[in-house]
Amino acid sequence: MYMKQNSWGRLAAAYLQQPIFSPHKPIFWNPFTFIRNERMQLLERCYQLDYEAEIFRARLELYWQECILAIP
């Protein structure tokens, strides 16, 4: 329950602090549209981090296999 309240508080604070005259980021007048957009951006950031971690894991596994094959 506390986590859900904290999440709503963070979203409310982000809604109230959105830049009004920014040419790079649109302003959302509807709070529900803003929340949906924020959650989509959070999901995209999490997906990007997961993708980068997966690439790093694949490279690490490749290097590990090369090291094992290089041992006589």
**C-alpha to C-alpha distance for 34 and 1, rounded to whole angstroms:** 22
Show the tokens assigned to 23: 């040419």
Q: What is the pLDDT of residues 21-55, one digit of tens each?
A: 888 888 888 888 988 988 898 899 888 888 888 88
pLDDT tens track for 33-42:
988 988 898 8
Length of the chain: 72
Q: What is the DSSP letter of 48?
A: H
Q: What is the pTM of this model?
A: 0.60
